[in-house]
Amino acid sequence: MTAYVFAAKKRTMWVTSLVVAVAIVAMNDLAFAQSLEYYEAAPVYTPHGMPLPANIAIPHSTDWDEHYKRVFKAAAKNPVVQASYNAHGLPISANDQQLANQWVNASQAPLQIDEIEPSHSPGPVFTPHGMPFGGSSETLYSMAGSPEMNRWVTAQRYDDHFISFRAEAVMLDREDHAGGGTVITTDGLAGLPVLSTDVGIGSEAGGMRLVAATEFFSSFDLEFAYLGGFEWNASDRAFSPFNSLFSVFSNFGTDVTLFAEETDQATEQTFQTQSVFDSLELNARFRWVAVTRPVGGSWIFGLRYIRLDEASTFTSFAEQHTDFLVDPPIVRGPGSLLYNYEVTNDLLGFQIGAEGFVAPLPSLMLGGDVKAGIYGNQVSNTARTFATTLPPEGLFEEGSETVAAFAAELNLYLTYRIVHEIYLRAGVNALYVSNVGLGSANFNTNSPFVPNRQTFVDTGGAVLLPGGHFGLEAQF
């Protein structure tokens, strides 16, 4: 009987123990489930204070272990950790002991998710690389500890600045679109054209680009840019030892009423031109950068002023000679003429554009920008003519016209961070400007030896300036 009672008590004890164990397990499961609900509503934070969207499932603690092992490894090797932030994403307000503990634990297993205190309230939160963290699950799972992180940091660093300066050496070629130029000299009466205003000004010219920008407020830059110092020069010459050159002023010698000793039956005639280009910009750039991708860019709005100055000179010289085209022959010359005219284009207008860049490799970025606008162009043509048979003060003429013009610029570039925030920059570029006055199209073919010569301004020209650039960019 005693044995039976003892056995019954023993069974009762085992049942009671089993019930208590089940109750404890159930309570623990309930508590853990409640903690999950808390973090989903809180929102959820990782063991190291990184926000996680509330609508995704919380990884198992072993997943966190594997994830943060990669993060710690990347943080230890990455050279861009900011000194002002701790290594593993603690808030900037963390005390010295917390920082010390995190550094010591960097090579050890990370915290389990069930060790997080419900009262934990990080803020602000930073990634292991000292960058503000937006809480994307994609970033947590795919970027941490992978090459993608370094590319992302490259784009973030380039976009995040208060002041930036850029200096570049620029080479620009030139292609004129002005109808092929004007023939101004023939060899013989209405003979073979030997000189025109199309003297091939398309050679390369060197200049510079200077850019300074400051962050006016968050993600908004105020930018000043100068592109200029470009000067193109070209010239051509016609020579006849038989004094057989005739100019356009007499319709190449066919209009005897316009015959002039300085420009018909001439010995030598020349044409030379010089073109100077400068540009100033004041832009607002609204910068953006992707949260989980190594890409960024900006929207561009601003004012631009373009100055295109075209100065051209036509000279003619006729030595003393006998004119056998008349009967009886007569002696002509010597005589000379200097015709100088300057066409200026002052363009002012509003432009819009966009920039985009991507980091294909750490520290390396490939990007480009495009800008275009409508401008008001004030075109003026100022001319002076001096000749043997003209009064000593010469002939002064001027005319002007205002037209709408179009300008667009494209830049493709490659940047490489060489040290800190210093970047090498190289690329190609092209600038197009339409409805401008060009020297080759504004040669006045009316004779300067007749009274009240008609003046004109041609604004139908266009220029394309392709080229390349190389320089340095510094950010602070």
Residues 180 and 230 in one domain: yes
List, for residues 317-353, the tens digit of each pLDDT value: 999 988 887 888 888 889 999 999 999 999 999 999 9
Residues 359 and 460 in one domain: yes
- Give domain status of residue 38, yes or no: no
Mean pLDDT score of the chain = 77
Which residue, chain included where needed, has tokens 């020069």? Answer: 233
Residues 6+ apart with CB under 8 A from 398: 380, 381, 382, 383, 455
- Give domain status of residue 437, yes or no: yes
- CA pair distance 269, 444, nearest whole angstrom: 16
- CA pair distance 278, 133, nearest whole angstrom: 43
- Give domain status of residue 214, yes or no: yes
Q: How far apart are the first and last CA of the chain?
A: 92
Please identify, among 122, 145, 168, the residue that sits at the C-terminal boundary of a domain: 145
- Give domain status of residue 49, yes or no: yes
Residues 337 and 441 in one domain: yes
Residues 139 and 162 in one domain: no
> Which range, 68-82, 177-191, 459-473, has the best average confidence (pLDDT)?
459-473
Which among 451, 454, 434, 452 has a CA at the least distance from the CA of 381? 454
- CA pair distance 208, 152, nearest whole angstrom: 31
pLDDT for 53 beyond 50: no
Please identify, among 145, 168, 197, the residue that sits at the C-terminal boundary of a domain: 145
- The residue among 219 and 156 whose pLDDT is bigger is 219
Please identify, among 145, 173, 192, the residue that sits at the C-terminal boundary of a domain: 145
Residues 257 and 383 in one domain: yes
Assess contact for 462 and 432: CB atoms under 8 A. Answer: yes
List, for residues 261-308, the tens digit of each pLDDT value: 999 999 999 999 999 999 999 999 999 888 778 898 999 999 999 999
Structural domain containing residue 212:
156-475
Residues 257 and 312 in one domain: yes
Element (H, E) at 362: none
Residues 320 and 391 in one domain: yes
Residues 305 and 438 in one domain: yes
Residues 192 and 53 in one domain: no
Q: Which pLDDT score is estimated for 65?
A: 47
Amino acid code (one letter) for 256: V
What is the number of domains present in the chain?
Answer: 2
Q: Tell me the three state secondary structure of residue 338.
A: strand
pLDDT for 220 beyond 50: yes
Q: Which pLDDT score is estimated for 363?
A: 87
- CA pair distance 300, 408, nearest whole angstrom: 13
Average pLDDT over residues 387-406: 95
- Give domain status of residue 199, yes or no: yes
- Residue 307 has φ and ψ, to the nearest 5°, of -120, 120
* pLDDT-based confidence at residue 6 (cuts at 50, 70, 90): very low
Residues 108 and 246 in one domain: no
* pLDDT-based confidence at residue 122 (cuts at 50, 70, 90): very low
- The residue among 85 and 234 whose pLDDT is bigger is 234
- The residue among 53 and 66 whose pLDDT is bigger is 66
- Give domain status of residue 33, yes or no: no
Residues 236 and 125 in one domain: no
Minimum mean pLDDT range among 39-48, 49-58, 138-147 = 39-48
Which residue, chain included where needed, has tokens 């008001």? Answer: 376
List, for residues 357-384, the tens digit of each pLDDT value: 999 988 899 999 999 999 999 999 999 9
Average pLDDT over residues 46-75: 46
Q: Which pLDDT score is estimated for 326?
A: 80
- CA pair distance 391, 446, nearest whole angstrom: 18
Longest dimension (CA), the chain: 168
- Give domain status of residue 23, yes or no: no
Assess contact for 206 and 169: CB atoms under 8 A. Answer: yes
Task: Write the CATH number for 362.
Answer: 2.40.128.100
Residues 140 and 265 in one domain: no
Minimum mean pLDDT range among 100-104, 123-127, 177-181, 386-390 = 123-127
- Give domain status of residue 28, yes or no: no
Q: Tell me the three state secondary structure of residue 189.
A: coil
